[in-house]
Amino acid sequence: MNISSLRKAIVFIGAVAALSLANAQSVLAANESAKDMTCQEFIDLNPKAMTPVAWWMLHEETVYKGGDTVTLNETDLTQIPKVIEYCKKNPQKNLYSFKDNLANVLPN
């Protein structure tokens, strides 16, 4: 391997490493900003994005009382409209406050 091709390989590896680090930082930033999302920001989303965001929020680290679970279809049909209604009534609250209220309402 000559010096020219060695330099090209080092530059290529450096570029790949830099892009990987930049991508990892943006993913971490997006994850944290979703946890800090207010209900107003949720309502301002494209309607097509509301269901995936709400579903993700409702199912992230969810521990139901008594070990109960629900299917994706049941959640989409019953909980997503409730999240939207809650956020329209409480635009200043954090999106995750709906999940906290829901945990207090579920039976043991």
- pLDDT of 63-86, one tens digit each? 566 766 665 556 656 788 888 899
Instruction: Classify residue 94 by burial, with Cβ atoms within 10 Å: 0-12, 13-18, 19+.
Output: middle
**pLDDT for residue 98:** 86
Q: By the 8 A CB rule, do 40 and 98 touch?
A: no
Q: Count the domains in the chain.
A: 2
Task: Give the C-alpha distances (Å, rounded to integers) separating 35 from 9, 53, 55, 59, 75.
Answer: 40, 11, 13, 13, 20
- Please give the Cα distance from 33 to 76 (Å, whole number): 23
**pLDDT for residue 63:** 58
**Whether 29 and 55 share a structural domain:** no
Structural domain that includes position 105: 36-108
Q: What is the pTM of this model?
A: 0.55
**Whether 3 and 46 share a structural domain:** no
Most confident of 18-22, 44-48, 63-67: 44-48
**Whether 12 and 49 share a structural domain:** no
Query: What token pair was written down for 105?
Result: 């309402």
**pLDDT for residue 34:** 65
**Whether 30 and 53 share a structural domain:** no
Q: How confident is the model at residue 17 (pLDDT cuts 50, 70, 90)?
A: low
> Which range, of 6-15, 21-30, 81-90, 96-105, averages the lowest pLDDT?
21-30
Q: What percent of the chain clears pLDDT 90, i.e. is strictly above it?
A: 15
Q: Is the dihedral of CA 20, 22, 28, 33 positive or negative?
A: negative
